[in-house]
């Protein structure tokens, strides 16, 4: 295969990936009414493949969507040592997208509170979420878009089952506990492998997280390996599991707060005596 054929094949593959992700994002937005006319959407940009892809797809949808909405890209600079502060501003300026960099040293807080060797993700995400929620409220932003995808949702689902004793995952759309922010996950239907391939084609300036990236034994990584193994060995299994999250039957589970098992009662049907009209019809038909 010469270079021209290879280039043509690569372009075809890219178009397929882009079309698939756009379709999945568009379907998720429509199914959950994530973005409406007049919305101001904050895209939380971490520097990873997922958030870069989310911003790219939403910028494209903004041009063709039947509703008008504004986008602003927001990054939280957590003051991690060696963080390349210039990369995101340069990239966002090249796109011409409105953006804001929030500078807040959550890195030192996490390192001070979490003992060495223990998982930092929980505290880190809470601090990050609180900061982003506050910025959204102060700047009239009514939708907060996160880059979680289908695999993230399934990993969270099994983490809650195996380690939390709860049947829950990440919802595609969420009202925050303080009722002030709506969080949306437009890539809820997207497969991580599609996003990874798309990011490779686009050559995004990926910034690795050096706060938690070295934590190789995270339980989430174990869930990821389990799901990847299923995906290879049993094609279609992950799609079926995700579909089950959209088809919940409360009466077939065991949560007494979700379904009133205690007051279940048999329905007794009393046979009604025949009416005079019916008797007449019976005689005529005899």
What pLDDT shows up at residue 286?
46
In a domain, 272, yes or no: no
If phi > 0 it is left, if psi is from -120 to 50 it is alpha, else beta; for residue 52 that is: alpha
In a domain, 178, yes or no: yes
C-beta atoms surrounding 16 within 10 Å: 13
Element (H, E) at 265: none
- Smallest CA-to-CA distance from 28 within 63, 64, 59, 54 is with 54
In a domain, 265, yes or no: no
Q: Is the pLDDT of residue 278 over 70?
A: no
- Mean pLDDT of the 154-183 span: 94
In a domain, 283, yes or no: no
In a domain, 227, yes or no: yes
Confidence of residue 185 (pLDDT cuts 50, 70, 90): very high
**184 is written with which tokens?**
């949306």
Domain that holds residue 220: 8-247
What's the number of domains the chain is made of? 1
CA 113/CA 101 separation, integer angstroms: 25
In a domain, 2, yes or no: no
- Mean pLDDT of the 43-70 span: 95
Element (H, E) at 267: none
Instruction: Provide the H-helix boundaries in 33-85.
Output: 49-64
Q: Is the pLDDT of residue 282 over 60?
A: no
Tell me whether residue 222 is exposed, middle or buried, using C-beta atoms within 10 angstroms of its C-beta: 0 to 12, 13 to 18, 19 or more: middle
In a domain, 148, yes or no: yes
Q: What is the DSSP letter of 42?
A: E
Confidence of residue 180 (pLDDT cuts 50, 70, 90): confident
pTM (predicted TM-score): 0.85
CATH number, position 66? 3.40.50.620
What pLDDT shows up at residue 31?
97
In a domain, 266, yes or no: no
Sign of CA dihedral 265, 167, 129, 114: positive
Confidence of residue 268 (pLDDT cuts 50, 70, 90): confident
Residue-wise pLDDT for 239-262, tens only, equals 999 999 999 999 999 999 999 999
Residue-wise pLDDT for 117-145, tens only, equals 666 667 677 788 888 999 999 999 999 99
Asked if residues 56 and 202 have their Cβ atoms less than 8 Å apart, the reply is yes
The span from the first CA to the last CA of the chain, in angstroms, equals 85
Asked if residues 42 and 72 have their Cβ atoms less than 8 Å apart, the reply is yes
What pLDDT shows up at residue 188?
98
């Amino acid at each position: 295969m010469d270079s021209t054929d290879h280039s043509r094949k690569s372009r075809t593959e890219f178009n397929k990936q882009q079309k698939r992700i756009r379709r999945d994002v568009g379907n998720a937005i429509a199914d959950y009414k994530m973005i409406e006319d007049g919305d101001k959407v904050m895209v939380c940009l971490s520097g990873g493949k997922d958030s870069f892809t989310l911003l790219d797809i939403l910028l494209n949808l903004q041009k063709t969507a039947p509703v008008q909405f504004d986008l602003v890209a927001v990054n939280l600079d957590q003051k991690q040592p060696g963080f390349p502060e210039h990369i995101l501003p340069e990239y966002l300026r090249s796109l011409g997208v409105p953006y804001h960099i929030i500078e807040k040293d959550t890195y030192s807080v996490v390192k001070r509170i979490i003992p060495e060797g223990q998982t930092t993700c929980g505290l880190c995400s809470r601090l990050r979420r609180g900061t982003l929620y506050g910025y959204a409220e102060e700047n009239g932003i009514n939708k907060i878009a996160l880059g979680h995808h289908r695999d993230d949702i399934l990993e969270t689902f099994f983490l809650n089952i195996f380690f939390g004793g709860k049947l829950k995952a990440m919802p595609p759309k969420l009202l925050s506990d303080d009722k002030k922010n709506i969080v949306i996950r437009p890539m809820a239907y997207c497969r991580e492998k599609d996003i990874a391939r798309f990011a490779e084609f686009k050559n995004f300036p990926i910034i690795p997280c050096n706060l938690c990236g070295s934590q190789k034994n995270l339980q989430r990584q174990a869930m990821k390996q389990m799901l990847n193994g299923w995906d290879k060995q049993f094609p279609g299994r992950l799609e079926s599991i995700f579909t089950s999250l959209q088809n919940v039957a409360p009466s077939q589970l065991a949560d007494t707060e979700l379904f009133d098992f205690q007051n279940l009662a048999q329905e007794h049907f009393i046979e009604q005596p025949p009416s005079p009209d019916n008797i007449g019809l019976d005689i005529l038909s005899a």
